Amino acid sequence: MLNAPALRRSLVLLLVAVAAHATAQSPTPAAALAPDEAQLIARVRAHTPAALQLLERSVLINSGTLNPAGVREVGDLFAKEFDALGFQTRWVDMPAAMRRAGHLVAERTGDRGKRLLLIGHLDTVFEKDSPVPPWKSDGRRVLGQGVSDMKGGDVIVLLALRALNDIGALQGRTVRVVFTGDEERVGSPTEVARAALIDAAKQSDVALAFEGAARDDQGRDTATIGRRASAGWHLSVTARTGHSAGVFGRDGFGALYEAARVVNAFREQLIEPDLTFNAATMVAGTSAKWDDAESQGQAYGKSNIIPRDAQVRGDLRYLTAEQGARARERMQAIVEQSLPGTRAKISFRESYPPMAPTAGNLQLLQAYSQASADAGLGPVVAFPPGLRGAGDVQFVAPYVDSLDGLGAAGGGSHTPDEWLEIASIERGAIRAALLIYRLTR
């Protein structure tokens, strides 16, 4: 009989397998789009040229996370668009000490259908001094700062909502939109930085996030039903020091051998699907220090002295809370098996909680895939959760069924070659508009 952790692992693997299989097949044929759905698609297409102009205007504004004025300027640009659609907009400021611009919140409330939360972000990884040109288009693709990560997704949200508003489909519905201003470098403390987003989730039934769309290794369009947590670990080792001639004897093994033992034991004992525990930096010597703010360390030592100190920093990724707890427990047990003359301690921090694949998330994917097929855009399959990075949707996934990756198609995120496929703006907005319409009926 499987134990509880094994059962949970099996459930996760089953959900992912079912998602990949079910949505890879042709969705259930629809008789035809309803007249109002056909009209909805026509309105998306009619507004696409203006949406592309809005995208260019937003991208030409530098909004690196550490450029609060630029983030706020993009927020003001989008707020005017939401205001024109009958949304109530407000800016959520962050405390000055956090050095973050804050977030844009837009709301319409009603009592019909599911209550939706739509998620985007205003900031990019490209700061004011970035040499990357903000906008360069050849008519098919755009290269530039944050075009696909994720101003393209923000514009898809607005384009879909504009079409829905045109046909009266927002009347009586509850739609909340949160565009955060620090997704690329979340402010600290996280509890403050994500309070507005979590509050919106607690008043919603479904969350749809518009990070960049992706294709799988077979070239199929995908959406995201799971994301791994983004966490970290810090190993600190102290040891008896002395002349190197005494190593392995009365003076023990030293801090560096103990750090190496622990890290290698992680590699030997922890590997399992969707769990990674990258050892990123190691500083060791007679004295060793690490500065988190500067991401750099200092060490002093000589080859004839047994090292006294070691500091190791690493990354930890897991798909479910249970998998994360299990990994931390096993890592702690390894650390406690210290070599003679050494003492090791490990601590953990979690920046983004996991977005575990769930049955509810799978149902959302199937509804999204059906909407895509009904619009003539083909089915959408599940992106492998273990391959996706962290995103804001993970803060709300514990509270509501969630689906991510509904934004613009592109590539090269966080690099000078970031690009966006222009046609994906219209395609993404058609899919999103149909899904929102059906969820809120």
Judged on CB neighbours under 10 Å (0-12, 13-18, 19+), 294 is exposed
Q: Are residues 181 and 82 in the same domain?
A: yes
Q: What would the pLDDT profile of 141-167 be if each residue is shown by its tens digit?
A: 999 999 999 999 999 999 999 999 999
Q: Are residues 265 and 367 in the same domain?
A: no
Q: Are residues 325 and 359 in the same domain?
A: no
Q: Are residues 255 and 314 in the same domain?
A: yes
Can you give the CATH number for the domain in which 378 is found?
3.40.630.10
Of the three residues 352, 384, 407, the one that is the final residue of a domain is: 352
Residues ≥6 apart with Cβ < 8 Å to 75: 91, 101, 102, 103, 104, 122, 179, 181
Nearest in space to 431 (alpha carbons), one of 410, 406, 409, 411:
406
Q: Reduced to 3 states, what is the DSSP secondary structure of residue 272?
A: strand
Q: Are residues 305 and 338 in the same domain?
A: yes
Q: What range does the domain containing 29 cover?
A: 23-227+355-439
DSSP assignment of 317-355 equals B-SSHHHHHHHHHHHHHHHTSPPTTEEEEEEEEEEE--B
The domain total for the chain is 2
Can you give the CATH number for the domain in which 320 is found?
3.30.70.360
Tokens of 357: 């694949």
Q: What would the pLDDT profile of 297-335 be if each residue is shown by its tens digit?
A: 999 999 999 999 999 999 999 999 999 999 999 999 999
Residues ≥6 apart with Cβ < 8 Å to 52: 155, 422, 425
Of the three residues 330, 352, 374, the one that is the final residue of a domain is: 352
Q: Are residues 319 and 410 in the same domain?
A: no
Q: Are residues 157 and 270 in the same domain?
A: no
User: Parallel, antiparallel, or unpaired: how do β-strands 112-121 and 401-403 relate?
Assistant: unpaired
Q: Reduced to 3 states, what is the DSSP secondary structure of residue 154?
A: helix
Q: Are residues 273 and 418 in the same domain?
A: no
Q: In angstroms, rounded to a whole number, what is the distance separating the alpha carbons of residues 394 and 209?
A: 10
Q: What would the pLDDT profile of 92-134 be if each residue is shown by its tens digit?
A: 999 999 999 999 999 999 999 999 999 999 999 999 999 999 9
Give domain status of residue 177, yes or no.
yes
Q: Are residues 336 and 418 in the same domain?
A: no
pLDDT at 15: 53
Backbone phi, then psi, for 24, in 5-degree steps?
A: -75, -25
Residues ≥6 apart with Cβ < 8 Å to 73: 61, 63
Give domain status of residue 17, yes or no.
no
Q: Are residues 62 and 181 in the same domain?
A: yes
Give domain status of residue 4, yes or no.
no
Q: Are residues 65 and 207 in the same domain?
A: yes
Give domain status of residue 257, yes or no.
yes
Type of residue found at 249: G
Give domain status of residue 248, yes or no.
yes
CA angle 98, 100, 105 (to 5 degrees): 120
Of the three residues 352, 379, 396, the one that is the final residue of a domain is: 352
Give domain status of residue 115, yes or no.
yes
DSSP H/E element including 57: helix 35-59
Q: Are residues 208 and 96 in the same domain?
A: yes
What's the distance, Cα to Cα, between the start and end of the chain in Å? 44
Q: Reduced to 3 states, what is the DSSP secondary structure of residue 365?
A: helix
CA distances from 160 to 210, 308, 343 (A): 12, 60, 58
Give domain status of residue 394, yes or no.
yes
DSSP state of 417: T
Tokens of 67: 């450029």
Give domain status of residue 13, yes or no.
no
What does the pLDDT profile of the chain (441 residues) look like in tens digits? 334 444 345 445 445 554 554 455 545 544 479 999 999 999 999 999 999 999 999 999 999 999 999 999 999 999 999 999 999 999 999 999 999 999 999 999 999 999 999 999 999 999 999 999 999 999 999 999 999 999 999 999 999 999 999 999 999 999 999 999 999 999 999 999 999 999 999 999 999 999 999 888 888 999 999 999 999 999 999 999 999 999 999 999 999 999 999 999 999 999 999 999 999 999 999 999 988 877 889 999 999 999 999 999 999 999 999 999 999 999 999 999 999 999 999 999 999 999 999 999 999 999 999 999 999 999 999 998 878 778 999 999 999 999 999 999 999 999 999 999 999 999 999 999 999 999 999
